[in-house]
Amino acid sequence: MTDVKQTSHETPPIGQTIPYERFLDCVHCGLCTSACPTYVETGDENDSPRGRIYLMRAVVDGRLDLTEKVKGHLDLCLDCRSCETACPSGVQYGRLIEPFRVEMHETSTTTDAAGKVSKSTSKPDWFHRYVLYALFPNRQRMKWALLPAKWMQVLKLDRMLEATGINRLLPERLRRMQQQLPRLHRTLPELPEFLPAKGERRATVGLFVGCVADAMFRHVHWATARVLQENGCDVVIPKSQGCCGAIHYHSGASGPAVDLMTANTTAFDLKLDAVIVNVAGCGAMLKDYSHIASEIAAGQNVDAAAFVNKVKDISEFLMELGPREPHGPIDAVVAYQDACHLQHAQRITQQPRSLLSLIPGITLKPISEPELCCGAAGSYNLTQPEMADKLGQRKTDNLLKVLPDLIVTGNAGCSLQLQAQLKKQGKTVPVVHPMELLDLSYRNLGIADLS
């Protein structure tokens, strides 16, 4: 473990806002280590959950300086929360690493010649400022940014760039973005503000469309809306909703995250039975709004409790409602990839499998190491490319071992990561959302009719 040396700080160390008892919940038993993707890959105790808790606590205690090396171990965490599922002591690891990293990234510390430590506001680099914060969370900007990429794919210019190596002239993160782009679907119209239920109305729900998901996976939103209609739901899609804020929050920009949280809770302040989410990462973020409000928006009178109580993953909601049986057969072997923010953060594992099992002809095959992250983790595969690629290859290897016709996952980030890794390996197995298959079955269509 990183050497700990006694230090003397004249300014309060980072992490003082975190209730100290949360650190003490960890008894350092080590049962989390086998579930931690970064520890499994590196074998470094500092890259394990208990190691990171030790580092954070040492910084809070003033026993350890927040050096670049310490920051590196904390930033290497995917925040997949698999340690929470494995932990017998109920350690709230997400409630430790997330607020700690917010403060860590918002604050830079310097030490002068006399050893005096001072803190100042840290400014984001160009990639965070212009790409993560300005482009990704804005649906309209994403739409325009993807337009030339679509034409490049149509004209096969993207293949030429890769074959000739011209794309290597791009900055690394932009090159990664280009490599992560899937085959972009034909442009679909925006969802209307209201879609009526089919048959007897059983519920009125709001549909969260997010930012990147709507730009790249709008076909999944349309499939989700049709499935909800088939199950007797009036579907409301508020135009004033926006990005869930996870991009900002997980990279340390708390102000914009709070602004987006306020906008979304206001947008869905309607008479709804549920707010439906079909992206695991967004769902976990929305369900954490109350925690985030108390951690980084204390004193701002942000009340997210009523909103949070309505947020449901689409598979969670349908199984609670009681899904209407689909009848269209889809003859396919399916490998299901558990998105971390679905299985660990939201503790939803059986519901998607139960829905897929309703479809005639589907054969679900279990995979090895389902608890390990695929390496997507939001923007992680852009900011930590080496670890992301190792985990991505490990995951796709496990998926391909069952010889699937289709790979299914309930998260946009996972889909992008898996498609990129499969492309790198020369594999052409489609990666789809559970709602796409359920929608096809309701409409009595086949795999060839996937968007």
pLDDT score of 297: 64
Tell whether the model's pLDDT for residue 429 goes beyond 80: yes
Whether residue 84 is predicted with pLDDT greater than 50 in this model: the reply is yes
The rounded percent of the chain whose pLDDT value lies above 90 is 62
**Is the separation of the CB atoms in 416 and 409 below 8 Å?**
no
pTM reported for the whole predicted model: 0.87
Looking at 214-359, which runs of residues are DSSP E strands? 233-236, 274-277, 311-313, 332-337
Instruction: Tally Cβ neighbours within 10 Å of residue 396.
Output: 26
Q: Express each pLDDT in 300-345 by its tens digit.
A: 666 788 999 999 999 999 999 999 999 999 999 999 999 999 999 9
Strand, helix or coil for residue 39: helix
Stretch 55-70: mean pLDDT: 93
- Amino acid identity, position 91: V
What pLDDT, on a 0 to 100 scale, did the predictor assign at position 151? 73
Amino acid at 254: S
Domains in the chain (CATH in brackets) are 21-121 (1.10.1060.10), 126-180 (no CATH), 194-321 (3.40.50), 332-449 (3.40.50)
Measuring CA to CA, how many Å separate 320 from each of 220, 274, 284, 338? 21, 11, 18, 20
pLDDT digits (tens, 9 = 90+) for 195-206: 999 999 999 999
